[in-house]
């Protein structure tokens, strides 16, 4: 699944994106203001593999962000959307 915008493309994450995601999620410099972050790439890889395999049960949606005019389609970020269902 891909969503095309004027300047960016959002594509649903796949196993081919895991190296980029793990590098980003485990980069201390990106999470400087957070109380904690995951430094173990295997933990991050397992977390995202589980989310990739959720299929129709998904309550969170992860997209790789790419520039629309980049022929190489190199990832530049990660966009996440959550669906919170509240039960009364």
In tens, the pLDDT along 17-71 reads 999 999 999 999 999 899 999 999 999 999 999 999 986 677 788 999 999 999 9
pLDDT for res 88? 57
pLDDT for res 14? 95
pLDDT for res 80? 93
pLDDT for res 75? 97
CATH of 2-82, one of 3.40.630.30, 3.40.50.300, 3.40.640.10, 2.40.160.20: 3.40.630.30
What CA dihedral angle connects 63, 28, 53 and 4, to 10 degrees?
10
**Cβ atoms of 10 and 67 closer than 8 Å:** no
The pTM of the whole model exceeds 0.75: yes
């Amino acid at each position: 699944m891909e969503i095309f915008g004027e300047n960016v493309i959002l594509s649903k994450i796949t196993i081919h994106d895991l190296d980029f995601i793990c590098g980003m999620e485990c980069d201390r410099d990106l999470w400087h203001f957070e109380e904690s972050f995951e430094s173990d790439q295997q933990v991050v890889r397992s977390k995202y593999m589980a989310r990739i395999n959720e299929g129709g049960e998904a309550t969170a949606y992860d997209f790789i962000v790419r520039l629309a005019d980049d022929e190489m389609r190199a990832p530049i970020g990660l966009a996440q959307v959550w669906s919170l269902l509240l039960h009364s």
